[in-house]
Amino acid sequence: MNLLNRLISDIEEVAIEEVIVGVHSVLVKTKDACGIASTIKYCGHNVNVDKAGNLEVLNLKELAAYALSDNLLEASIGMAAINCGLSKTVDKYRVVNAKKTILEKGKNKTLGIIGHFPFLEDQKEQYKECYIFEKSPHEGDFKESDIPKFLPKVDVAAITGTAITNHTFDRIRENLPKKSYNIILGPSTPLSPILFELGMDMVSGTLVRDYEIAKSCVLQATPTRHLKGVEMISIFREDYQ
């Protein structure tokens, strides 16, 4: 939890204007910032969110602390709050497609990827080996329990940002080879250079550029890869050295 505690410690105690929990995404808005994260739904039909219906009574730092919760729906809300706070501090970023970077770094090499990203179907043949690890494996995927055996063999690792939300990130990074090129990506990813200290080389996340457009998409169950009103950006270790 050290990463989450460090991220939360930097969040300001500002008022929250709106919290939207959609099927695929969560949005959190303050007066002058907004943040997004993926909604983790595998937490049971009877799971309740503390203060649901009245989350705006919390300040942003209090809501960000939900990221520590074992209730992964609450943790998703907390990640959106963290990303809302971080959105005002992001600098030295590039508008770079993480999919493209993964292919550039991993072509003809061994790729390990945590999360079954849709773009993999078009890329898998480009790699010497492609290990896909999933909590709910598709055909041909590896299980989470296979990570200690196969992840140490990769040249490039790509980790879904929801690994931070579901509190598996530390266990994953403990199995990364010392010389692998490591990318963390997806809407939940906190755009923070702290992740460079934890072995990441590229941190790829999402900024909300037009809240009302993004809100309409989230309320109408638009999958994250088809969201409008947002921009995918990346920060790189080399730009912060």
Q: Which pLDDT tens digit goes with each residue over 175-213?
A: 999 999 999 999 999 999 999 999 999 999 999 999 999
**Across the strands, what pairs with 130?**
111
pLDDT (0 to 100) of residue 117? 83
CB atoms near residue 195 (< 10 Å):
26
Burial environment of residue 96 by CB neighbours within 10 A (0 to 12, 13 to 18, 19 or more)? middle
Decide: 156 and 132 in contact? Cβ < 8 Å: no
For range 108-127, the mean pLDDT: 88
For range 143-152, the mean pLDDT: 95
The string of pLDDT tens digits covering residues 12-63 is 999 999 999 999 999 999 999 999 999 997 656 677 899 999 999 999 999 9
Burial environment of residue 104 by CB neighbours within 10 A (0 to 12, 13 to 18, 19 or more)? exposed
Q: Examine the pLDDT at 152 and tell me if it is beyond 70.
A: yes
Q: Examine the pLDDT at 95 and tell me if it is beyond 60.
A: yes
Which ranges in the chain are annotated with CATH 3.30.390.100?
A: 2-86
pLDDT (0 to 100) of residue 115? 86
Q: What is the separation of C-alpha 4 from the centre of its chain, rounded to a whole number of angstroms?
A: 12
The string of pLDDT tens digits covering residues 80-94 is 999 999 999 999 999
Q: Model pTM?
A: 0.95
Give every strand in the sheet of 25-30, ordered side by side: 16-21, 25-30, 34-38
Which ranges in the chain are annotated with CATH 3.40.50.11590?
A: 93-205+234-240
Query: Rounded CA gap, 160 and 149, in Å?
Result: 19
What is the CATH code for 93-205+234-240?
3.40.50.11590
Q: Which SS3 state, helix, strand or coil, does residue 185 take? A: strand
The string of pLDDT tens digits covering residues 122-147 is 788 899 999 999 888 888 889 999 99
pLDDT (0 to 100) of residue 76? 97
Q: Examine the pLDDT at 1 and tell me if it is beyond 70.
A: no
The single-letter DSSP state of residue 160 is E
The counts of H helices and E strands in the chain are 10, 11
pLDDT (0 to 100) of residue 118? 78
| CATH classification (class only), 2-86 | alpha beta
Query: Rounded CA gap, 179 and 79, in Å?
Result: 29
Q: What is the separation of C-alpha 10 from the centre of its chain, rounded to a whole number of angstroms?
A: 18
pLDDT (0 to 100) of residue 26? 98
pLDDT (0 to 100) of residue 122? 79
pLDDT (0 to 100) of residue 68? 97
pLDDT (0 to 100) of residue 209? 97
